[in-house]
């Protein structure tokens, strides 16, 4: 599908109707990172992620034909009115208005809840924007329009809210960004990875060490922009592109060691990009480094398949297959939780259903 296929005329929607819709959407963690974008939310390199199961956002959207000239949007997070969220939602609605023209004719009340604590530092934009986009697809149905490929449309809309959100509408391993290795890949929306995945990668756990709870020191939009005129940008984009092919091969053949090498390199490259940008950012905390060193020592000594990846923050995502859980979980509890600000981790996993 191309961009114009997502444009829908106002006439197909019955904008006299009111109603309420709800949706749930999980967060995801990138294995090959999206870092750098062009207008409008086009990634400078393709990415592949795992969609999580337990870290999700639940959103309810009430829509009423608008009363005044300007549209009103009210946002509640866990029963508390959150006026600070409104500009972001407004910006999102403005961006998607050419594809969802009914938005300008409604007042909205949005109630949202994250399964993870808001202060945990877990990126809520992926789960939040994808949950809201799913709500819009359901709202469209109520207004009389059913998209030919509703999930793809949800992904397209999500991308315009937050790039990584477009991957969250699918379970399991998901690709976003045009490349020659994934059939039907697109810069406009994500697609599930259809490669024959080795069973070892289908039951992966993701334990998130909450090293530092609190908001990020650099917003992702600022972070992505730092890749413009970055001295290593071209090399980074090329490497990420090539890593798509390498990762697919690893996933097919069940190469756990190769998986660890590639995924950890991707995570450290993301942070290296931030450290070498202008202005520079160091998003790891001393405890991030200390915990990563423990992971490397543990792996060397035990040969257990415990790997890590990082978001644009201080927290660590520990990745390991189901088979290794019995040995790895006690190690996390005994040796790694001490590095977490409140001694806490989130035990998540991926789902391929």
Q: How far is the CB of 60 from ligand DP6 (least distance, A)?
A: 22
* Cβ nearer to ligand DP6, comparing 21 with 310: 310
Q: How far is the CB of 213 from ligand DP6 (least distance, A)?
A: 17
* Cβ nearer to ligand DP6, comparing 221 with 342: 221
Q: How far is the CB of 162 from ligand DP6 (least distance, A)?
A: 3
Q: From CA 296, how far away is CA 306, in angstroms rounded?
A: 8
Q: How many CA atoms lie within 13 A of 352 on its CB side?
A: 14
Q: From CA 100, how far away is CA 10, in angstroms rounded?
A: 8
- Give me the residues that bind ligand DP6 (CB under 6 A), please: 30, 33-35, 41, 47, 123, 125, 162-164, 220-221, 224, 270, 311-312
Q: How far is the CB of 208 from ligand DP6 (least distance, A)?
A: 13
Q: From CA 273, how far away is CA 236, in angstroms rounded?
A: 8
Q: What is the 3-state secondary structure (H, E, C) of 53-117?
A: EEEEEEEEEEEEECCCCCCCEEEEECCEECHHHHHHHHHHHHHHCCCCHHHHHEEEEEEEEECCC
Q: Tokens 């980074």 — which residue? A: 236
DSSP letter, residue 277: S
Bridge pairing between strands 204-209 and 316-321: antiparallel
Q: How far is the CB of 346 from ligand DP6 (least distance, A)?
A: 16
Q: From CA 84, how far away is CA 105, in angstroms rounded?
A: 22
Q: How far is the CB of 298 from ligand DP6 (least distance, A)?
A: 25
| Closest to 308 in 3D by CA, of 318, 297, 294 | 318
| Closest to 65 in 3D by CA, of 141, 157, 143 | 143
Is residue 75 within 8 A of residue 82, CB to CB? The reply is yes
| Closest to 113 in 3D by CA, of 24, 175, 185 | 24
What are the percentages of helix, strand and coil residues in the chain, rounded to 5? 40, 25, 35
Task: Please name the residues in contact with 124: beta carbons below 8 A apart, sequence gap of 6 or more.
Answer: 27, 57, 114, 116, 118
* Cβ nearer to ligand DP6, comparing 143 with 169: 169
* Cβ nearer to ligand DP6, comparing 34 with 339: 34
* Cβ nearer to ligand DP6, comparing 219 with 302: 219
Q: How far is the CB of 311 from ligand DP6 (least distance, A)?
A: 5
* Cβ nearer to ligand DP6, comparing 138 with 311: 311
Q: How far is the CB of 182 from ligand DP6 (least distance, A)?
A: 15
* Cβ nearer to ligand DP6, comparing 66 with 265: 265
* Cβ nearer to ligand DP6, comparing 128 with 260: 128
Q: How far is the CB of 221 from ligand DP6 (least distance, A)?
A: 4
Q: What is the 3-state secondary structure (H, E, C) of 174-231?
A: EEECCCCCCCCCCCCCEEECCCCCCHHHCCEEEEEECCCCCCCCCCHHHHHHCCCCCC
* Cβ nearer to ligand DP6, comparing 112 with 331: 112
């Amino acid at each position: 599908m191309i961009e114009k296929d997502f444009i829908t005329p106002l006439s197909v929607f019955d904008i006299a109707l009111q109603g309420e819709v709800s949706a749930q959407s999980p967060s995801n963690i990138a294995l090959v990172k999206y870092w750098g974008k062009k207008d409008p939310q086009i990634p400078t390199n393709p990415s592949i992620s795992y969609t999580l199961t337990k870290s999700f956002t639940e959103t309810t959207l009430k829509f009423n034909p608008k009363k005044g000239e300007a549209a009103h949007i009210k946002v509640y997070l866990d029963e508390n009115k959150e006026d600070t969220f409104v500009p972001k939602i407004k910006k999102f609605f403005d961006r998607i208005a050419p594809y969802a023209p009914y938005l300008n004719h409604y007042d909205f009340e949005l109630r949202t809840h994250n399964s993870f604590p808001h202060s945990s530092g877990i990126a809520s934009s992926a789960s939040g924007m994808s949950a809201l986009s799913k709500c819009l697809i359901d709202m469209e149905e109520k207004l009389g329009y059913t998209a030919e490929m509703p999930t793809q449309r949800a992904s397209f809309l999500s991308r315009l809210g937050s790039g990584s959100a477009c991957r969250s509408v699918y379970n399991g391993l998901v690709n976003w960004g045009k490349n020659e290795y994934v059939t039907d890949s697109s810069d406009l929306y994500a697609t599930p990875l259809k490669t024959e995945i080795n069973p070892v990668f289908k039951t992966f756990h993701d334990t998130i060490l909450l090293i530092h709870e609190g908001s990020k020191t650099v917003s992702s939009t600022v972070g992505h922009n730092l890749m413009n005129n970055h001295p290593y940008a071209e090399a980074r984009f090329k490497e990420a592109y090539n890593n798509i092919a390498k990762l697919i091969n690893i996933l097919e053949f069940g190469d756990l060691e190769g998986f660890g090498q590639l995924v950890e390199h991707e995570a450290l490259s993301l942070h290296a990009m931030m450290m070498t940008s202008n202005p520079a950012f160091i998003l790891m905390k001393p405890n991030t480094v200390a915990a990563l060193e423990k992971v490397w020592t543990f792996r060397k000594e035990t040969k257990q398949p415990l790997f890590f990846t990082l978001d644009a923050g201080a927290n660590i995502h520990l990745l390991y297959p189901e088979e290794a859980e019995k040995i790895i979980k006690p190690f996390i509890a005994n040796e790694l939780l001490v590095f977490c600000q409140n001694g806490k981790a989130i035990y998540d996993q991926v789902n391929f259903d």
